[in-house]
Amino acid sequence: MTRIDSSEVDAIVRRVRARFGKDSPPPSASVSSGGSPSPTGRPKGGEGVFATVDGAAQAAWEAYHEFGRRGFEVRKAVIDSIRESMREQAERLGRMAYEETGLGRPEDKRLKNLLVTDKTPGPEILETHTVSGDLGKTWTEYSPYGVFGSITPTTNPTATIINNTIGILSAGNAVVFNVHPSARRVSLENVRLLNRAIVRAGGPPNLVTAVEKPTIETAQQLMRHPRVRVLLVTGGPAVVKEALKTDKKAITAGPGNPPVVVDETADIELAGREIVRGASFDNNVICTDEKEVFAVSSIADRLLRALKRNGAYLLKGHELRKLERVIFKQLGPPGKPGKIDARWIGKKPSAILDQVGVRVGDEVRLVVAEVPREHSLVWTEQLMPVLPVVRVANVDEAIELAVQAEHRFGHTASIYSTDLAAITRMSRAINVSIFVANGPNLAGLGFGGEGFTSFSIASPTGEGLTTARTFSRIRRVTVAGSLQGI
């Protein structure tokens, strides 16, 4: 009898699927894409979703090795298939995320999903660099690490999963997700959809896995699991600190408090329009969104009027005092962060203003409050569409305060100015991963701006906007001496 090896079986399966349709089920009914058979013949997992960290990590580890055996062309086909699927599912996943978390705007979540689907770099950026000469030949190439453990947030659940998956898989790795419990349903659906897209393109099942019931304990298990080689953490200071305590390589995307400077040379109408657009996007739940404004006094009144014309509601003094009691559990001391009431994170301006007796419609996109520089709104990452504006004497004072309010997170900042010297001064002084001049911070993510996107912006560990290169080991290969006979 002729013996058929596993690679030939895989080739036969791919030919059958090509003939009868890419959605044809695998030949074996006893094993799904979620895991290996149990003693009863039923699969342990379903389309990448596993009951335990061990199950998810082991399946991802096996899929990683199989992914490598299938070659670079399959890798490219997998990424193309993921992009096709996520474009089709962008609206549904955005709506599911909104319905489950109650944060942001479903239409903006759709746009985030499309942004990461189309503008996250794929395998094409992993170009081998070669040097040759009399002493031989050396080339530098990007190689995979293995299995990544990824922690994702409730604010951008699907956009982060899509972005992480494209980048991690483009580098030849596999990934295990411990998603935020508050976005569990939509995140697990996202993982299932990704697995279907991967398998349709000829990739192995379980290249992307997740824990069925994520908790703090499962996140800690994932961070220390022996099958996990690298951690990719997108979240607050506590989870970042936990990742950095492990003995693994950790790529961490932490908090931000992006300041905006508007000086006397700025196009004020542009600034008003784009600040509202950026700070109101998805109700300000994105860490890159504008969080506070420092405006030179000579143009501050004009800027406030421009903000109002473009969809902002300007709070009166007594309304601000009421608002403080609504959105803060505790105001901070002067110049320090306060404690936000999480119930109002990502809510619409109309819902927030209703709490202080102000009735507005959805045409209002942003709540704006003029405050003194020491106010807690300036120093706190609120993650809600409430934007403080502070008057300052000149652009140098504005830059100095912006550096302080950003807390040296190294995340995002922006300026509206036509003074190149001022733009340059601020970019160097604040030294953030994303710096934008004369546009919304979204432009720094590639949304309405040039360049690629990332929803894991590794400011604490310094990688900045992550790509497949971030998720690759750099390997140098040298052939010394004469190349004759090689």
Number of domains observed in the structure of the chain: 2
Same domain, 336 and 429: yes
- Whether residue 466 contacts residue 137, with contact meaning beta carbons closer than 8 Å, is answered with no
149 and 275 belong to one structural domain: no
Helix (H) or strand (E) holding 230, with range, is strand 228-234
Structure-token pair, residue 334: 């002067």
Q: Please indicate, yes or no, whether residues 137 and 279 belong to a single structural domain of this protein.
A: no
Are residues 22 and 63 located together in one domain of the fold? yes
Q: What are the structure tokens assigned to 129, written together?
A: 């660099």
Residues 94, 27 within the same domain: yes
Q: Which residue has the tokens 């659906």?
A: 189
273 pLDDT above the threshold of 80: yes
Distance CA 173, CA 64 (A): 6
With respect to residue 466, please indicate whether it lies within any of the assigned structural domains. Answer: no
Does 2 score more than 90 pLDDT?
Answer: no
- CA 287, distance to chain mean position in Å, is 9
Instruction: Indicate whether 11 pLDDT > 90.
Output: no
Cβ pair 126, 142 in contact under 8 A: yes
pLDDT at 5 over 50: no
Query: What is the reported pLDDT for 30?
Result: 29
Do 220 and 270 lie in one domain? The reply is no
Share of the chain above pLDDT 70, in %: 90
The CATH number that applies at residue 325 is 3.40.309.10
How many angstroms separate the CA atoms of 5 and 325, rounded?
69
What is the structure's pLDDT at 39?
35
* 136, 221: one domain: yes
Residue 189 maps to which CATH number?
3.40.605.10
Q: Is 464 within a domain?
A: no
| Residues 172, 144 contacting (CB under 8 angstroms) | yes
Average pLDDT score, the chain = 90
Angle between helices 420-430 and 395-405 (to 10 degrees): 20
- 366-370: strand order across its sheet: 312-314, 366-370, 386-392, 292-296, 259-262, 412-416, 434-437
Q: Which of 253, 271, 289 represents a domain boundary (last residue)?
A: 253
> Which stretch of DSSP H or E encloses residue 191?
helix 184-200
pTM of the model: 0.88
The token pair that represents 221 in the structure block:
């298990």
In this prediction, residues 221-236 reach a mean pLDDT of: 95
42-56, 163-177, 188-202, 254-268: least confident range: 42-56
Rounded average pLDDT over 446-452: 94
Q: What was the pLDDT predicted at 31?
A: 32
Radius of gyration of the chain (CA): 25
pLDDT band for 17, please (50, 70, 90 cuts).
very low
Sheet with 249-253, side-by-side order of all strands:
49-50, 208-211, 174-178, 147-151, 228-234, 249-253
51/251 Cα distance (integer angstroms): 26
Q: Does residue 438 fall inside a structural domain?
A: yes
pLDDT tens per residue, range 108-137: 999 999 999 999 999 999 988 999 998 899
Q: Which residues contact 421 (CB under 8 A, 6 or more apart)?
A: none
- Residue 34's domain comprises 6-253
178 shares a domain with 60: yes
Is the pLDDT assigned to residue 288 strictly greater than 50?
yes
**Residue 472 placed within a domain:** no
Instruction: Report the DSSP pairing between strands 412-416 and 312-314.
Output: unpaired
Q: Which of 252-266, 320-334, 444-458, 470-484 has the lowest mean pLDDT?
A: 470-484
Q: What is the mean pLDDT of residues 159-177?
A: 98
Neighbours of 239 (CB within 10 A): 22
pLDDT digits (tens, 9 = 90+) for 401-427: 999 999 999 999 999 999 999 999 999
Closest CA to 59 of 68, 72, 40, 46: 46
Flag the least confident range among 38-52, 153-167, 222-236: 38-52
Same domain, 179 and 293: no
DSSP letters of 168-184?
A: HHHTT-EEEEE--GGGH
Residue 304, in any domain of the structure:
yes
Question: Over 50: is that where the pLDDT of 20 sits?
Answer: no
pLDDT tens-place string over residues 451-480: 999 999 999 888 999 999 999 999 999 999
Integer angstrom CA distances of residue 162 from 86, 106, 190, 333: 8, 17, 8, 39
- pLDDT, position 32: 36
Q: Which residues contact 452 (CB under 8 A, 6 or more apart)?
A: 119, 120, 121, 446, 465, 467
Pick the range with the lowest mean pLDDT from 239-248, 291-300, 321-330, 382-391: 239-248
Q: pLDDT digit string (tens) for 347-404?
A: 999 999 999 999 999 999 999 999 999 999 999 999 999 999 999 999 999 999 999 9
DSSP H or E segment with residue 377: helix 376-379
Nearest to 198 by CA among 83, 89, 91, 90: 83
Q: For residue 427, tell me if it sits in a domain.
A: yes
Whether 387 and 435 map to the same domain: the answer is yes
Residue 237 pLDDT class (50, 70, 90 cuts): confident
Whether residues 280 and 402 fall in one domain? yes
Residue 18 lies in a domain: yes
pLDDT band at 483 (very low <50, low <70, confident <90, very high): low
* Phi, psi of 416, deg, nearest 5: -115, 115
Neighbours of 224 (CB within 10 A): 16
Whole-number pLDDT of residue 134: 87
User: pLDDT confidence of 485, banded at 50, 70, 90?
Assistant: low
pLDDT at 486: 53
Looking at the fold, whether 123 and 170 belong to one and the same domain comes out as yes
Residue 447 lies in a domain: yes
pLDDT at residue 413, rounded to an integer: 98
